[in-house]
């Protein structure tokens, strides 16, 4: 789902990520290619190893997981809609 933004904010995308989903989340948020962001991360590792490792680890711990979306709706509205159908 490249190019599709999931809600607002910056999230890590573990479902489409390789390590912690940080690069995939950044790519999703800014509508970049996941592979392009990964290449930038690899070049950063080559030239600035420790700052890149620290920044990636902090981002992996601080960023929340991408919210789940079903049929174009976020998880909360999906369950709200489905529970209202079952009650009535």
Hey, is 70 helix, strand or coil?
Answer: strand
In the numeric block, the tokens 């789902």 are attached to 1
* Domain membership flag for residue 4: no
Q: What is the pLDDT of residues 3-48, one digit of tens each?
A: 454 556 788 888 877 888 899 898 988 889 999 999 999 999 999 9
**Domain containing 53: what range?**
22-87
Looking at the domain assignment, is residue 5 inside a domain?
Answer: no
Q: How confident is the model at residue 86 (pLDDT cuts 50, 70, 90)?
A: low
Domain total for the chain? 1
In a domain, 2, yes or no: no
Question: Long-range contact list for 55-63, CB < 8 A, 24+ apart?
Answer: 56/19, 56/20, 56/22, 59/12, 59/20, 59/22, 60/12, 60/19, 60/20, 60/21, 60/22, 63/10, 63/11, 63/12, 63/22, 63/25
Does 10 map to a domain? no
What would the two tokens of residue 72 be? 């174009």
In a domain, 32, yes or no: yes
């Amino acid at each position: 789902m490249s190019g599709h933004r999931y809600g607002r904010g910056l999230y890590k995308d573990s479902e489409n990520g390789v390590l912690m989903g940080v690069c995939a989340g950044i790519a999703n948020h800014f509508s970049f290619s996941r592979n392009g962001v990964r290449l930038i991360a690899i070049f950063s590792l080559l030239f600035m190893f420790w700052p890149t490792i620290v920044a990636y680890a902090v981002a992996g711990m601080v960023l929340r997981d991408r919210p789940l979306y079903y049929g174009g709706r976020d998880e909360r509205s999906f369950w709200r809609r489905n529970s209202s159908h079952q009650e009535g």
